[in-house]
Amino acid sequence: MSRIVRCVLGLMGAMGRPAALGESAGPRPSRVGTGSVLPTTASPEEHHVLEYFFEVLLILVCVGVLAFTGLAVKKLYQGQR
């Protein structure tokens, strides 16, 4: 697990949500009929794909914010040379 995900999970724990993955990883399986259990969570491969997707999305958002900040500062001090 990456440091970014652990940091986000730690922040979630500080906000009153479970901090550990094992505590509440998702909805409980639903019972159908007389005891068969159908899991409602995604496969482990899908979790990795989602984790990578959101990490890349987080990085892109950070790069966009930094680019916007740089542009704003450049425009702000443009006439003061």
Evaluate whether residue 37 is within a structural domain: no
Q: Are residues 23 and 51 in the same domain?
A: no
Q: For residues 62 and 57, give the distance between their C-alpha atoms in angstroms, rounded to a whole number.
A: 9
pLDDT mean over 5-31: 60
Number of domains in the chain: 2
Average pLDDT, rounded, for the chain: 76
Residue 13, domain extent: 1-27
User: What are the φ and ψ backbone dihedral angles of 22, each rounded to 5 degrees?
Assistant: -75, -20
Q: Say if 36 falls within a structural domain.
A: no
- Quick: pLDDT tens for 33-65: 666 666 566 676 777 888 999 999 999 999 999
Count the Cβ atoms, other than its own, within 10 Å of residue 21. Answer: 13
Q: Which two tokens stand for residue 14?
A: 């500080």
**CB within 8 A of 42, min separation 6: which ones?**
50
Please report the pLDDT score of residue 64 as a whole number: 98
Same domain, 16 and 50: no
pLDDT reported for residue 46: 72
pLDDT at 48: 87
